[in-house]
């Protein structure tokens, strides 16, 4: 999974598998056709717009989306084992994905969960098991070729009241599990990327539910070919540069060197070239549209300020991280959520949590948040995101199961004196 939030949730639920269902092929299928293409045209079965169980029209063609995820994004091949995970309220999409996996000769395994299940797996399981590595997940790492995850959590403050020391212990116990998936080059597709439409997310972005759903699905359904082209242009510029300088009127002023560091792109497709590279290159996050890299060790200097941050649904004002010699040296902020965030941070005793982790640039022109929004997200074109701690997903070598992510909407990024992003507008 992607960033530190995924690691934290994995730790909270002890990376448990809620319900694994082998998606078996029927003995006598009504139609033996296995025709699949890599374009986005709907299959005959998906010509009619899908509906949810309640009869409400789905926000996008879920059959067409499933086909794209399987044949384009993940490029599933005959004989591969595909782990598909998500919550029960997304059963239609998850099952469509499983069917499309089988249509190309793959073997799907469905992992269903729920917010209730995840919460109980933390609060109802004895503390004595916190340091127990998830043996089943480790075995799956040796079997699975592809994971496709639908990240649609409905509850923002699910782990309110959780002991931060227990969360840290679970993360530490399962650090090697995530690294095993990475080492085996398991291809990963995540649908959600912190933008999956939910009432609480719409509130955070100061949008209506319909507005968020529209921008989310437009971002997911963007033409991946054009996104690849833009990603390659931004990647080339970043790869040729040395020093990144990020500024914002809110007080952000950070310099960090990136010369010689690998630059990766999440453009919606795991290409043959990506598959050949392996590791973090075989992961995409939808809506796609990010170019990211990791720092030259010890070079981050200055501070970043997130004007409006949230922790478990509680607001933090002006979360400020100060860096010297590539390490986080102080954290400040105010508001009802700051004390809990600081307690969680302090509970992690691994000093790797302090290392500056990554610089991430959003390039998706279809994902648009309100101009006045101070919260931020990964993918809107012109967005800048930085973070500490875990960065193996971005091509780094820090696998500590914790980190802090700071979105910097409306910021300016200069690369060796050349403006790449100005006041939140991508100039490439």
DSSP states of 124-150: SS-GGGTT---HHHHHHHTT-SEEEEE
Are 256 and 397 members of one domain? yes
Any idea what DSSP says for residue 426? Answer: E
- pLDDT of residue 7 exceeding 80, the answer is no
* Distance (Å, whole) CA 156 – CA 168: 19
Nearest Cα to 21, choosing from 79, 117, 86? 86
Top pLDDT among 12 and 236 is at 236
- pLDDT of residue 221 exceeding 90, the answer is yes
* Distance (Å, whole) CA 320 – CA 372: 20
* Distance (Å, whole) CA 383 – CA 361: 6
Beta bridge partners of 425: 422
Mean pLDDT of the chain: 87
For residue range 33-45, what is the model confidence (pLDDT) as tens digits? 333 333 333 333 3
Are 212 and 231 members of one domain? no
Under DSSP, is residue 155 helix (H, G, I), strand (E, B) or coil? Answer: coil
- pLDDT of residue 46 exceeding 70, the answer is no
Does the CA dihedral 260-376-11-23 come out positive or negative? Answer: negative
Q: Are 366 and 185 in contact (CB under 8 A)?
A: no
Q: End of a domain among 220, 247, 277?
A: 220
- pLDDT of residue 411 exceeding 90, the answer is yes
Are 74 and 185 members of one domain? yes
pLDDT band at 27 (very low <50, low <70, confident <90, very high): very low
Determine, yes or no, domain membership for 192.
Answer: yes
Are 314 and 354 members of one domain? yes
- pLDDT of residue 31 exceeding 50, the answer is no
Are 177 and 320 members of one domain? no
Phi, psi angle pair for 47, to nearest 5°: -60, -40
Mean pLDDT to the nearest integer, 204-209: 92
How many structural domains comprise the chain? Answer: 2
* Distance (Å, whole) CA 289 – CA 235: 12
* Distance (Å, whole) CA 155 – CA 366: 26
Residue 226 CB contacts under 8 Å (≥ 6 apart), including other chains: none
Q: Are 309 and 337 in contact (CB under 8 A)?
A: yes
Mean pLDDT to the nearest integer, 342-369: 96
* Distance (Å, whole) CA 232 – CA 286: 18
Are 211 and 301 members of one domain? no
For residue range 78-108, what is the model confidence (pLDDT) as tens digits? 999 999 999 998 999 999 999 999 999 999 9
Predicted TM-score (pTM) of this structure: 0.86
Are 237 and 207 members of one domain? no
- pLDDT of residue 75 exceeding 90, the answer is yes
Of the listed ranges 4-18, 88-102, 169-183, 317-331, the least confidently predicted one is 4-18
Q: Could you list the residue range(s) of the whole structural domain that residue 407 is in?
A: 227-265+288-426
């Amino acid at each position: 999974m992607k960033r530190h939030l995924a690691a934290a949730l994995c730790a909270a639920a002890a990376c448990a598998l809620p319900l694994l269902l082998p998606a078996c092929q029927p003995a006598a299928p009504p139609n033996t056709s296995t025709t699949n293409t890599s374009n986005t045209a709907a299959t005959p079965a998906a010509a009619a717009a899908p509906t949810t169980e309640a009869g409400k029209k789905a926000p996008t063609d879920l059959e067409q989306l499933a086909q794209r995820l399987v044949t384009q994004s993940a490029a599933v091949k005959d004989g591969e084992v595909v782990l598909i995970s998500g919550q029960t309220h997304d059963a239609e999409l998850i099952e469509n994905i499983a069917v499309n996996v089988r249509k190309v000769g793959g073997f799907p395994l469905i992992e269903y969960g729920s917010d209730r299940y995840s919460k109980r797996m933390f609060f109802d399981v004895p503390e004595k098991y916190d340091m127990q590595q998830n043996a089943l997940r480790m075995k799956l790492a040796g079997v699975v070729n592809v994971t496709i995850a639908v990240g649609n959590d409905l509850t923002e403050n699910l782990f309110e009241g959780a002991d931060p020391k227990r969360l840290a212990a679970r993360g530490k116990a399962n650090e090697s599990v995530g690294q095993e998936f990475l080492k085996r080059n398991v291809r990963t597709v995540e649908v959600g990327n912190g933008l999956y439409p939910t009432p609480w997310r719409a509130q955070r972005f100061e949008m209506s539910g319909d507005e968020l759903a529209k921008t989310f699905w437009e971002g997911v359904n963007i033409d991946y070919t054009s996104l690849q082209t833009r990603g390659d242009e931004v990647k080339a510029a970043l790869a040729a540069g040395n020093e990144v300088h990020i500024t914002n009127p809110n007080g952000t002023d950070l310099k960090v060197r990136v010369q010689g560091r690998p630059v990766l792109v999440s453009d919606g497709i795991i290409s043959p070239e990506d598959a050949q590279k392996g590791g973090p290159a075989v992961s995409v996050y939808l809506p796609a549209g990010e170019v990211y890299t990791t720092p030259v060790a010890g070079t981050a200097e200055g501070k970043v300020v997130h004007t409006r941050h949230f922790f478990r649904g509680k607001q933090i004002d002006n979360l400020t991280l100060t860096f010297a010699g590539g390490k986080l040296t102080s954290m400040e902020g105010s508001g009802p959520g700051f004390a809990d965030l600081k307690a969680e941070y302090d509970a992690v005793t691994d000093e790797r949590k302090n290392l500056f982790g990554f610089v991430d640039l959003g390039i998706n022109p279809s994902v648009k948040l309100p101009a006045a929004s101070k919260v931020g997200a990964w993918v809107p074109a012109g967005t800048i995101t930085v973070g500490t701690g875990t960065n193996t997903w971005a091509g780094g070598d820090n696998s500590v199961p914790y980190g802090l992510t700071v979105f910097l909407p409306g910021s300016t990024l200069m690369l060796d004196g050349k403006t790449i992003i100005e006041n939140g507008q991508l100039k490439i």
